[in-house]
Amino acid sequence: MASVATNPSLFKVILGSSSPARREILADMGYEFTVMSAGIDEKAIRKDKPEELVKALAEAKAEAIKLKLHGDCAPGRDQTALLITSDQVMVSKGMIRERPRSAEEAREFIKGYSGDRAFAVNFVLVSNLSTGATRGGWDIPEIKFQHIPDDFIDKVVNQGDMTCVAGGLKLTHPSVLPFIKELVSNCSYFVSHKKKEHTVLILQMQNNSEFGPLFCPLCNFLIDCPCRYGG
């Protein structure tokens, strides 16, 4: 697995995301890649269920980037081209939390996490631009929060750069980590689990392997699982 991930000559990787975290993950894994922005109106795509929303957004980003590329990655070219698109939302108190539209909305989101729990609902899609095949998967860790004091919330909201993400709070920021009481998945989720998710999808796509059922990381049921966002 490592030999494939560190050999950039085997395939070209295009990251269809402006997320610094996604760029960092792929760079740490040894991939050489280019970045393209989909430039879609995400608010125009609406779904009631969070897992359906992130999937629809990742797919829409992929389609938009394919249109921009036109024939650059057409079948028959020597090098396989893989496009990675993704989306994430937070679910808090049964409500979908996307990127906040204002400082007040960010404040509301963070206050809702305080002393409670939330789910980070992720979907990653890998598209083989040379064959048209796609592989995708969800990741839904549960995050339990300590009490988050108002003065910290005020500082974060006023600072701005920690709230311009889905859910309104950059969970990987060192100042936020003390307020995370527990992660249901492995404590190294923010790096190792996402690396594994990307690697498995990329290798399945490159090797044209069959993509099996998608399992919820919380309870090992199929993605329409009984534990999701439960009380």
**Which of 80, 75, 87 is CA-nearest to residue 16?**
87
Distances (CA, A) of 48 to 45, 87, 166, 169, 189: 10, 15, 17, 22, 26
Per-residue pLDDT, 154: 96
CA–CA gap between residue 119 and residue 184 (Å, rounded): 10
Residues annotated catalytic, as ranges: 87
Exposure of 21 in the CB half-sphere (CA atoms within 13 A): 21
Task: Please give the pLDDT value at position 169.
Answer: 95
Q: Where are the domains of the chain?
A: 2-207
Between CA 158 and CA 6 the distance in angstroms is 40
Q: Mean pLDDT, 10 residues at a time, over the chain (231 residues)? A: 43 84 77 90 93 96 92 58 92 96 97 97 88 86 95 95 91 91 60 48 48 37 40 41
pLDDT of residue 186: 41
Fold of 2-207: Maf protein (3.90.950)
> What's residue 107's pLDDT?
97
pLDDT tens, 159-205? 988 898 899 999 888 999 999 998 886 433 334 445 455 554 555 55
pLDDT at residue 71 in the model: 56
